[in-house]
Every structure is written in C-alpha cells, then in structure tokens.
C-alpha cells in the first residue's frame, strides 16, 4: 500500500531527489500524475472537486461537486480534486499538510469508503498553497477530518454515482440495478462487470448529481477500521521527503546568527574570518517578520550546512540592544501576578458573582503554567528560490496559503508568481504555521541570487521562539447544596492574537474558557471569566491544543478542589453539572475501564473531563508512592470524537498528546534571563524519555455524533488528572507547573 502514496516531494513536477549516496541531486521523472497533468487530463480521466464554500458564496453558487469544465464555465476553482484515470488509478489532491497526525491515511480512507475502491489504489498529490483555489489550508485545530469528512464522502459518492451511471448507460439498464465495489461496477442480474478505468471517459461527460445519497454508518466497511498508516513505511525506509531533505540544482545552505535578545538589531558585523571557512560563499544581513516586527540577523551561506555552521562560529556580530527590556522569568512572573489585581477584560459573565461568592469562597486558588517551546523533532527549515520575477519555496509548512500571501506582499510579487510546496513535517504543533522562517529563507535567497536552504539548529529553534505563553489563573468558587453556585476566574497571560506593533489589547480573550465544558456554564448560575493581557517582547504562538493546554490545568484542578470542598467524589460532583446522555455515557465508560469505583488504599486516582476542537476527552491517572516521590502507574483515556475514522491513528494521537502533556507538567519549561531563552538544547530542555512513560490505555466511544478533532483534545486533561491523583494520594495540592515527580 505504501508504494501508492505520493510523498510531497515526489508529487512535484520535476521534483528533485537525492541519489542513493545522498550527493548530487537528480531530476525525477514523475511516474504518478503531476499537479498540472492531474488538471489537464481532458477526456482521459474522471476529475471531480468541490467548490470552497466561501468562494462559492462569492460567486453565488450552491456548494457542490463539480467537474473542472463546469467550474471553469462558472469562473471558480475547485478544492480537493479526485481523479480516476483509464487504468483505474485513483489520485487525491490533498490540500493539507501531513505532520504526523495521519492525514495520509485517514483522508484516503474516507474517500475510498464512498468511492468503493481498494485504498491501496489511491495515490496522493500534495497541493500547492493557493487560498483562492482551496480556501484555508491551515493544518491546525484538529481540523483536517472534522472540517473535510462530509465533502470527501460526497466527492467519493458522486464519482461512484457517475461511474455507475456510465456503466448502466453502456448496458442499457437502470443505474439502481448496478453496484460498485473495489473499483468495478457490476450489473447484479447479469453479472456483467466493468472496471472504473474502462468507464471514466463516459463518466467524465456526465453532469454530477447534486444530492447523491451517502451510506448509513452501519454500512461503512473502511471508516472505523484500524488500517495501517501509509506513511509509516516511507518514514522507516527513508523515502519520505521532509523539508530538510529538499535538494534542487545549484542550491546553497545557510544558517543565521540571530540576536540573543528577542528584538536586538544588528549594529555591525565582521565576516572576514567566516569567509575564510572552506565552502562559505556569502555573509549577508537578513531579517524575518515576527508579528509585524522585523527581527534582524546575519546569514552565512555555504555549500553545505556544516560549512555554514562553522562559518557562523567565526562570524563577529555586534548587537544594538538599546532600549530593550531585560526580560527574565522572574520579571514575567512578577508582571503576571501583579496584573491579576487589575480589572480584567470580561469575556463571559452571568448572574451576580460577588454576591454569590460572599466573604469566604469555598475555594480561592492561583494556578501557574510555564512558557513552553514547540521542540519539533525536525528543526525549522525552508528552501527558497527567489528571482526578480518569481519566488518558490519548499518546506514543512502548516499554512501554505498564509505563506503564499505573506511572501507575495513582502517580496512585492504578484500572487501568481509565488509558489509554495509542502513537504512532510517532522512535527509542527502550531510553530510551523508561522510565516517567519519561509520569509527569512526567501530574503536570503534573493540577496545571494541563488536557491538556498536555511536550517535552524536546535539551539536556534529553542531559544528564538515563538513559545507557548505562560499563564497565571486566579479562581474563586462558591458552593450551595453541594453544587457550584459561583465561579470567578481571571487569566493573566500574553494574548496570542494581540502582538502586532501598537497592539494594546482592549477586547476580552474569547478563548479564556477554551477547554472548559460549556455544560458547566449552563448549570452554574453565577460566573465571571476574564483576562488581563500581558504585553511583552517575548513572541508567543499556538502550541498543541492552544489555550486548552493551560486553561484545563487551572479549571480541572479547580473543579477537583470544589468537589473536595463539597466532600464529594470528583466524578459524582461533575455529573451534577451536566445533563447530557453523551457525557454520562463517556463518564460511565471512564469509571468502568479505570476501576474508579474499586479504588484501593495506598493509591491515588485523579480525573479530568475536557472539551476542545469538538471532542470530549476524559482521563484517569493512577499514582502510588515511589521512594521520596511519586510513580505514575497508569493512564486511562476515553475519547469521544464522534466519527472514529481510524482507531489506531486516534490512539497514536492520544498517546502522543499524553506524552507531550506529561513533559510540560514535569520535565520541561522555557526560562528567560537577560532578554533571552536560557535552555537551548535537550540536555537542559529535557523531553520525556521512554522510561518516563507510564502504561497508557485509550478507549474510543462509538456513537452517531459528528466528527470531532483528534490530534489535540487528548492533551489538556492529562496534567490536572495527574495532579488531582497526587492530591488524592498525598493530600498535597500542586498548583504550579512544572513539578518534580521525584520530590512530591
């Protein structure tokens, strides 16, 4: 199956690959359809797509499946193309990136379900960045499946319907007497059969039906099955092409010396010694755009990355740090704590909170979460080739459409002269949705008039940012008759959406309750949620599960404290605050698989219930004493994501989320001193090792709900479930992250 899946670099027209010894690049002769060939097959293939809803509305069209000819006549372009050629080969144009979340497997799995083909016959061609054609191409917010499953099913079903109608016409029978299966159409009564390849020319001449009936869920044969991931063999045997693998003729390699402080400027530099290093060709000043603020650096460009690194070591740069604040972890924490006493920008309010809280709230607590790096296994990199009239980049980007627009504006080029090619991403977590590193590579290429691959070292990556913002929460709560009668919550943190020059956050952060179940707010009569935004030169950005990653630690810890104050079981306490059969079923499953009701003395059990990206995640963590510290014995997670396309992929994503959350809770944090990040590599920013990972058991709910996210919802609840378990065992409440398990 893996040999039929196209990697991003393989999909490009005249893409270049490495020779077996990794030296001179050669030009690949494409054996699969190129993007251009895919769209210009004329009558030799059945090609279908659907109009992006936003673009369809702009043209006054109903959102539906169309052929390229119909779209051209209507003056619009199509999204998520599907092509079947005369050999019966199915090709899918994928407009989202693959960064480990399983898109290369689950998207074909959805398509094949309604198209009725063997999934092994589906090849993937990765689309270029083009917002006019594809709309949003951002891979984030766990949106690939939940945002695209309906249209993928409709596209597959419509193509199948056209093939069935073509066969029925040829046999002069009614379409409903024919059935499609495994790439063939069979006339049930006579047993006559034709393969899809023999039907595509006739099918391509038909007008797609507007409303083709989709299968009932009970009739699915692929969706819901643990089909092996198609990209795994490619990544194991080395044939997958990541951004760092890109090679094009005549390319050079570069690293950039950036200011050790976030907003330092280049005062002067001496390249004399750097240019003496064998292989170094150029040393040029460059910059990158970080939320509208140009961050300066000096690029060393050479014939290899290693030569560029050695040249950078010989480079002498003097930085102008005039007027730059001495940002440190201590100053940031102090500013956050001080801001908690300020009047918050209220995002959500209901009832009379002050009256309900009274003089002595049942719980009055402050929770702290640290800054975090994204720490992707593949460091930041991008290859760019910029001329006076055009620009093209290749790289691990999460938002090719954003990059295309940003590059066109910054380079002052027409949009149609900018091309963005996606590769596999060795992790993204939000960082690779940012447009700073592709622009930096493009500016270096333009300066040296050659294609250039800019590679960030691990030290560059961990010290420069952007980072997940640290946050401090002040929560107070009141009880009445064993239920929550009031919640007052204030979050102090940098606002992810207010970082442009001159930004002074005036609107409340709508994400201040992200991760908290809305059903709680429906059941609580009085509440006030607000935020106090911190303005800081530290660049911050989305991090896996975004605000939920910090919000949930505060809110789920707070709910546990409220349950203890009410002298109630934490699960029973939560059940009082939702009236949803779906949630009760989820919690029933959690209690059952974890043995919650059979907890034994000498162990600690903690739980959490979080909601984000349209999915529910419930965690139970079991801990016990180990010497002077705590051992995590097991983690149980029950995920309700509605449609579970591939259970194995879902379990992988939940397990990865738990590992990432565990690291952020107990092993790593970004600290600052003198305007710079302190921890610059994995010797000090220590990620969890295999020995640190407890047994993890993931259960997936089966129901008829719509598709929700998978890549992020499993992360937010792990940490509060862990700290709640530690309280259950020791009576010690952890309200500040990270903490040392060996010293609890």
Quote the mean pLDDT of the chain: 90
Q: What pLDDT, on a 0 to 100 scale, did the predictor assign at position 12?
A: 31
Alpha carbon 48 to chain centroid distance? 27
Q: How many angstroms separate the first and last alpha carbons of the chain? A: 48
What pLDDT score was predicted for residue 67?
86
C-alpha–C-alpha distance, residues 647 and 190, integer Å: 38
By mean pLDDT, which of 113-127, 390-404, 616-630 is the weakest? 113-127
Element (H, E) at 634: strand 629-640
Angle at which helices 196-203 and 144-171 cross, to 10°: 90
Q: Are 274 and 311 in contact (CB under 8 A)?
A: yes
The pTM (predicted TM-score) of the whole model is: 0.92
Q: What pLDDT is recorded for position 62?
A: 54
Residues 493-531 have pLDDT tens digits of 999 988 776 666 788 998 999 999 888 899 999 999 999
Q: What digits encode the pLDDT tens for the residues 417-434?
A: 999 999 999 999 999 999
Q: How far is CA 374 from CA 661, 666, 685, in A?
A: 12, 16, 11
Query: 3 or 271: which carries more pLDDT confidence?
Result: 271
Say how far residue 23 (Cα) sits from the centre of its chain.
33
Phi, psi values for residue 601, rounded to 5°: -65, 150
- pLDDT the model gives residue 584: 97
**Mean local confidence (pLDDT), 729-733:** 97
Judge contact between 171 and 128, C-beta under 8 A: no
Greatest pairwise CA separation for the chain in angstroms: 85
pLDDT of residue 1: 31
Q: Could you check whether the bond before residue 584 is cis, i.e. omega within 30 degrees of 0?
A: no
Count of beta carbons in the 10 Å neighbourhood of residue 358: 11
Asked if residues 286 and 299 have their Cβ atoms less than 8 Å apart, the reply is: yes
Q: Is pLDDT at 382 greater than 70 in this prediction? A: yes
- Match 């499609």 to its residue by tokens: 180
Q: Is the pLDDT of residue 14 over 50?
A: no
For the record, the structure tokens of 2 come out as: 């893996």
The phi-psi region of residue 203 (left if phi > 0; otherwise alpha if psi is between -120 and 50; otherwise beta) is alpha
* Distance, C-alpha 316 to centroid of its chain: 38
180 with 116: CB under 8 angstroms? yes
Residues 371-385 have a mean pLDDT of 97
Residue 388 vs residues 411, 418, 444, 445: alpha-carbon distances, Å: 9, 12, 13, 11
Alpha-carbon dihedral sign for residues 264, 269, 273, 274: positive
Q: Is the pLDDT of residue 15 over 60?
A: no
Residue 54, pLDDT above cutoff 70: no
Do residues 274 and 280 make contact, with C-beta atoms less than 8 angstroms apart? Answer: yes
Give the pLDDT score at 252: 98
Give all strands of the β-sheet with 604-612 in edge-to-edge order.
604-612, 615-626, 629-640, 696-700
What domains lie within the chain, and their CATH numbers? 2-227 (3.30.365.10), 243-323+380-455 (3.30.365.10), 340-372+467-743 (3.30.365.10)
Q: Which of 257, 262, 252 is nearest to 323 (CA)?
A: 262
Instruction: Find out whether 214 and 110 touch, Cβ atoms under 8 Å.
Output: no
Q: What is the pLDDT of residues 30-43, one digit of tens each?
A: 334 455 555 544 45
The 3-state DSSP class for residue 482 equals coil
Question: For residue 158, is pLDDT > 50?
Answer: yes
Contact assessment for residue 48 and residue 39, using Cβ atoms and an 8 Å cutoff: no
Residue 655 has phi, psi (to 5 degrees) of -60, -45
Q: Identify the CA nearest to 456 among candidates 612, 257, 291.
A: 257
DSSP bridge pairs for 626: 629
Candidate from 418-422, 426-430, 536-540, 548-552 with smallest mean pLDDT: 536-540
Phi-psi region of 310 (alpha: psi -120 to 50; beta: other; left: phi over 0): alpha
Dihedrals phi, psi of 663, to nearest 5 degrees: -60, -45
78 forms beta bridges with: 51
- DSSP lists the bridge partners of residue 442 as none
pLDDT at 378: 96
**Model confidence over 633-684: pLDDT tens digits?**
999 999 999 999 999 999 999 999 999 999 999 999 999 998 889 999 999 9
Question: How many angstroms separate the CA atoms of 78 and 134, rounded?
Answer: 7
Question: What 3-state class would DSSP assign to 161?
Answer: helix
Q: Where are the beta strands (DSSP E) in 387-451?
A: 391-395, 418-422
CA distance linking residue 313 with residue 276, whole number of Å: 12
Query: What DSSP line would sit under 571-613, residue for residue?
Result: HHHHHTT---HHHHHHHHHHHHHHTGGGPPTT-EEEEEEEEET
CA distance 255 to 459: 12
Between CA 722 and CA 744 the distance in angstroms is 12
Q: How far is CA 265 from CA 261, 322, 436, 678, in A?
A: 9, 9, 16, 20
CB under 8 A, 24+ apart: contacts of 163-168: 163/46, 163/84, 163/196, 163/199, 163/200, 163/203, 165/203, 165/206, 166/199, 166/200, 166/202, 166/203, 166/206, 167/194, 167/199
pLDDT of res. 80: 63
Give the mean pLDDT of 91-119.
91
């Amino acid at each position: 199956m893996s040999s039929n899946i196209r990697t991003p670099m393989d999909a490009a027209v005249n893409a270049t690959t490495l020779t077996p010894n990794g030296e001179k690049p050669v030009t690949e002769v494409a054996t699969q359809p190129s993007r251009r060939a895919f769209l210009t097959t004329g009558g030799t293939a059945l090609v279908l797509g659907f109009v992006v809803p936003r673009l369809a509305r702009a043209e006054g069209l109903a959102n539906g499946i169309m052929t390229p000819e119909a779209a051209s006549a209507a003056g619009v372009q199509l999204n998520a193309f599907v092509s079947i050629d005369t050999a019966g080969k199915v090709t899918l144009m994928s407009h989202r990136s693959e960064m480990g979340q399983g898109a290369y497997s689950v998207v074909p799995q959805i398509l094949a379900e309604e198209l009725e083909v063997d999934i092994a016959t589906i090849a993937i061609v990765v689309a270029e960045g083009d917002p006019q054609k594809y709309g949003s191409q951002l891979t984030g917010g766990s949106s690939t499946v939940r945002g695209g499953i309906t249209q993928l099913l409709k596209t597959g079903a419509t193509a199948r319907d056209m093939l069935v109608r073509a066969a029925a016409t040829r046999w002069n029978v009614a379409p409903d007497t024919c059935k499609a299966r495994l790439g063939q159409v069979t006339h049930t009564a006579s047993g006559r059969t034709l393969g899809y390849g023999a039907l595509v020319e006739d099918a391509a001449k038909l007008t797609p039906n507007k409303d083709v009936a989709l299968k009932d869920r009970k009739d699915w044969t692929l969706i819901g099955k643990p089909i092996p991931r198609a990209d795994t063999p490619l990544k194991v045997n080395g044939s997958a092409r990541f951004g760092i693998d890109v090679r094009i003729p005549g390319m050079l390699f570069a690293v950039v010396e950036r200011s050790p402080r976030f907003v330092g400027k280049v005062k002067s530099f001496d390249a004399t010694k750097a240019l003496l290093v064998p292989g170094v060709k150029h040393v040029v000043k460059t910059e990158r755009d970080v939320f509208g603020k140009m961050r300066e650096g000096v690029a060393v460009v050479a014939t290899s990355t290693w030569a560029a690194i050695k040249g950078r070591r010989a480079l002498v740069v003097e930085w102008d740090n005039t007027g730059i604040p001495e940002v440190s972890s201590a100053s940031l924490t102090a500013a956050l704590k001080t801001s908690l006493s300020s009047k918050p920008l209220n995002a959500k309010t209901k009832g009379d909170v002050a009256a309900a809280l009274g003089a002595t709230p049942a719980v009055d607590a402050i929770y702290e979460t640290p800054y975090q790096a994204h720490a992707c296994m593949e460091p930041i990199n991008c290859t760019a080739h910029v001329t006076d009239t055009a620009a093209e980049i290749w790289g691990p980007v999460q938002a090719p459409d954003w990059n295309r627009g940003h590059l066109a504006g910054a380079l002052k080029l027409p949009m149609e002269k900018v091309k963005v090619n996606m590769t596999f991403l060795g992790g993204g977590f939000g960082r690779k949705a940012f447009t700073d590193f592709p622009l930096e590579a493009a500016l270096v290429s333009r300066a040296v008039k050659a294609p250039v691959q800019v590679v960030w070292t691990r030290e560059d990556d961990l010290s420069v940012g952007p980072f997940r913002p640290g946050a401090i929460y002040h929560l107070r709560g009141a009880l009445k008759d064993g239920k929550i009668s009031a919640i007052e919550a204030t979050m102090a943190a940098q606002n992810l959406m207010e970082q442009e020059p001159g930004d002074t956050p005036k609107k409340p952060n709508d994400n201040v309750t992200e991760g908290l179940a809305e059903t709680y707010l429906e059941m609580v009569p009085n509440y006030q949620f607000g935020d106090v935004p911190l303005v800081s030169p530290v660049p911050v950005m989305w991090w896996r599960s975004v605000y939920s990653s910090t919000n949930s630690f505060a809110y789920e810890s707070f709910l546990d404290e409220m349950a203890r104050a009410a002298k109630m079981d934490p699960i029973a306490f939560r059940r009082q605050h939702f009236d949803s059969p779906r949630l009760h079923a989820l919690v029933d499953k959690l209690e059952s698989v974890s043995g919650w009701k059979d907890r034994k003395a000498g162990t600690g059990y903690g739980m959490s219930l979080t909601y984000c990206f349209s999915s529910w995640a419930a965690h139970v963590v079991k801990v016990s004493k180990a010497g002077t510290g705590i051992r995590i014995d097991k983690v149980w997670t029950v995920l309700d994501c509605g449609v579970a396309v591939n259970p194995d992929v879902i379990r992988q994503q939940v397990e990865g989320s738990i590992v990432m959350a565990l690291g952020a809770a107990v092993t790593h944090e970004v600290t600052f001193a003198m305007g710079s990040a302190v921890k610059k590599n994995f010797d000090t920013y220590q990620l969890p090792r295999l020995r640190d990972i407890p047994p993890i058991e993931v259960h997936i709910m089966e129901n008829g709900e719509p598709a929700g996210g998978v890549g992020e919802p499993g992360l937010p609840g792990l940490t509060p479930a862990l700290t709640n378990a530690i309280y259950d065992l020791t009576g010690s409440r952890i309200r500040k992250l990270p903490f040392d398990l060996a010293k609890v």
